[in-house]
Chain A
Amino acid sequence: METGFLPRGRFQGLLDALHRAGYRCFGPQVRDGAIVYAAVSASEDLPQGMRDHQSPGYYRLERTSSLRYFGWANGPQALKPLVFAPHEVLWRARRLPDGGIEFSTEPPSTDKLAVIGVRACDLAALALQDRHFLAAPQSDPHYAARRARLFVVAVHCSDPSDTCFCVSTGDGPQASAGFDLALSELDDGFLVESGTALGAGVAAALELEVVSAEARAAAARQIEAARERQHRRLPSRNLRAALFANLEHPRWEDVAGRCLACGNCTSVCPTCFCHAGIESPGLSGETSMHARAWDSCFTQGHSYINSVTVRSDTRARYRQWLTHKLGSWHEQFGRSGCVGCGRCISWCPVGIDITEEAGAVCAGAADE
């Protein structure tokens, strides 16, 4: 619901309102040459004037004279590290004097956290991770705790990068659901929409101005331009049948020759959820710590079962990634596992492009 216009000079008011409502704020910042989420307290912390240049295996930032805070597409992270931690201790065990074992869990912090600058694709990915981690009957308590504390301030995309293809997956560039507040950034300020009662409450504290017809039209034009700027495509149809009909396609061998099996793609992918359990006993042998860490279908351990590695070569591993993400994901979640964020393309050290590989394997195959 449209609630009003926040002039650029008063953006700090949004951060202050969130702080007053008890939230710690996370927002985009430039770190080590990329845009990442980190704690922000003042609007000066935001990447004003920054824009990103992304292409397969390539990411660079450029400082421009633009006043905008959100004139870039994305960085290597989505919301994933904030809800599905890359590494977290799930429980500790201790041997008791009577021979028993005592377990204790380590619940994550439930401090309220507002994340600013979330993209449409990130929200679509969050919805998928929610389904994976929260669906009954085995809802994951660690994910649930991190998720429940989130307040999401989305920003509709005005500047997709060369690697973005959310239009073809139907997930962007405009955020349509899953946010508490959503912003359209214009040169002189922000159109503010609320998506939840919580968001409306924060917006009410901002003393927003009435939105002019020109501002509304400019925001709509901006989204349209962002849509048109995208040129990469993933067929939006269900590729399940096409992929599984092509398990012996020569392209798998071809991509295996180029792929490092490094797991960067799955790590930056906001929907990938595979993890490994890591047991670290203390030297004394009296205590142990059990952690969960991001794993990937590109590691050997991922398919290691009872002394056999099921997918020992890269051909099988790459095929697993693509046939799950774009194929069997449909059976599991009712949609593909790709939200078109393009991260796996940019952050692949050798620039392998999922849209190209899927296109090559599925070319000519019948639709489902």
Chain B
Amino acid sequence: MTPVAAGYKPQVAVHKFASCDGCQLAFLNLGEDLLLLSSLVEFVHFAEAGPVNPEAPVDIAFVEGSISTAKDVERIQLVRARSRFLVTIGACATAGGLQALRNLADGQAWIADIYAIPAYVESLMSSTAVAQHVKVDLELWGCPVSSRQLVAAVRALLFGVAPVEERDKVCMECKRSQIVCVMVAHGLPCMGPVTRTGCGALCPSFGRDCYACYGPAENPNTQALTRRLEGLGIAPAAIGRRFLSINNGAAPFTEAGLRLMHDHD
């Protein structure tokens, strides 16, 4: 990686796949920094903000959303081919999103239950992470990602250095904020000990247990946490559902969740 040459404005695209649009808002929510950002990079494609030019070759492509239709499968290849750096933003692009739950169920039956003419729904039977289709250079976890994460990633890429990956458990952030542990002091089934930092321990700071929005931390011990949650009196299927939530498609959570669902069917 090399730093950006003086006078050159890197070209940036923000692409959307199957998602709620919430992660892109982290750009729009930058406030004054959005002006600064637009003076540093050129947004050539960012439909939610205005510019539309999905075909343009870019230096950085931010991808929101999971791959969930046959068209997505083709489109993500084109995005990859036209981008120097591909950065996934959020749980959908990084782990398949909440919609990846259909990978574990009979998606066809769900569609039939809801839509009058299921044949009109052109979706794949799976919702998958971008990395299962093309090479991803950087993954930003979170549901949604925060403006802080985006700024840090853009800044590092402009400097020509590898962005620092946040991989610690939420507990570390919780203690750095001197929050009283909700699991130890209140017996709440907190997912913080297996979840990646990034949110600043938002839920525990309001006395609530962590719901694992930022996906698995490095070296997560899902079995030890499972035993602990069982000890708190949480039913195995309920623990399974906590793993199979926003980041159900992330391997350690898929495994832990399925184990709990199957063991106790």
Interface positions of A (Cβ within 8 A of B): 31-34, 36, 57-60, 76-77, 81, 86-87, 257-264, 267-268, 280-285, 293-296, 299-301, 312-314, 346-350
Contacts and interface: CB of A to CB of B under 8 A. Distances in A.
Question: Which 6 residue pairs of A and B lie closest in terms of their CB atoms, listed nearest first?
Answer: A267-B175, A262-B171, A32-B180, A260-B193, A33-B185, A262-B193
Given A32-B180, A86-B177, A283 B185 contact: no
Given A31-B180, A59-B185, A259-B224, A294 B172 contact: yes
The main secondary structure of chain A at its interface with chain B is loop
B167 A36 contact: no
Given A267-B172, A349-B228, A257 B223 contact: yes
Contacts of B218: 300
8 contacts: A86-B176, A86-B177, A283-B37, A283-B155, A312-B219, A313-B219, A347-B181, A349-B190
Nearest to A284: B36
A357 to B, nearest CB: 14
A87 B184 contact: no
B143 interface: no
Contacts of B37: 283
A133 B40 CA distance: 41
B62 to A, nearest CB: 15
Given A261-B169, A350-B224, 11 more contacts: A86-B177, A87-B177, A263-B169, A264-B193, A268-B175, A281-B155, A283-B37, A285-B155, A285-B159, A299-B169, A300-B167
B178 A259 contact: no
B33 interface: yes
Interface residues of B, number: 40
A221 B172 CA distance: 41
A313 to B, nearest CB: 7
A299 B181 contact: no
Interface of B: 33, 36-37, 40, 151-152, 154-156, 158-159, 167-169, 171-172, 175-181, 183-186, 190, 192-194, 207, 218-219, 221, 223-225, 227-228
Contacts of A294: 172, 175-176
A280 B151 CA distance: 10
A312 B152 CA distance: 26
B168 A301 contact: yes
A260 B224 contact: yes
B9 to A, nearest CB: 13
A299 B172 contact: yes
A34 B180 contact: yes
Contacts of A264: 171, 175, 181, 193
B184 A262 contact: no
A285 B194 CA distance: 33
Contact of B154 (A31, A59, A283): A283
A87 B175 CA distance: 10
B221 A314 contact: yes
A38 B159 CA distance: 42
Contacts of B152: 280
Contacts of B227: 258, 350
Given A81-B178, A293-B176, A349-B228, A33 B186 contact: yes
A351 B227 CA distance: 12
Nearest to B166: A301
B128 to A, nearest CB: 26
Contact of B184 (A57, A263, A312): A57
A207 to B, nearest CB: 37
A157 B196 CA distance: 38
A86 B37 CA distance: 31
A257 B172 contact: no
A167 B224 CA distance: 31
B181 A263 contact: no
A349 B183 contact: yes
Output the residue of A31, A33, A264 with the most chain B CB within 10 A.
A264
Contacts of B192: 262
A280 B155 CA distance: 10
Output the residue of B185, B225, B227 with the most chain A CB within 10 A.
B185
Contacts of A348: 184
A348 B177 CA distance: 17
Contacts of B177: 86-87
B167 A301 contact: yes
A300 B168 CA distance: 7
Nearest to B152: A280
A367 B179 CA distance: 40
B169 A36 contact: no
Nearest to B204: A32
Contacts of B175: 86, 263-264, 267-268, 294
A113 to B, nearest CB: 16
A30 to B, nearest CB: 10
Contact of A350 (B36, B169, B185, B228): B228
A283 B36 contact: yes
Contacts of A263: 168-169, 171-172, 175
Contacts of B181: 59, 76, 264, 347, 349
A152 B34 CA distance: 48
Contacts of A33: 180, 185-186
A327 B212 CA distance: 36
Output the residue of B152, B176, B184 with the most chain A CB within 10 A.
B184
Contacts of B176: 86-87, 267, 293-294
Contacts of A59: 181, 184-185
Contacts of A283: 33, 36-37, 40, 151, 154-155
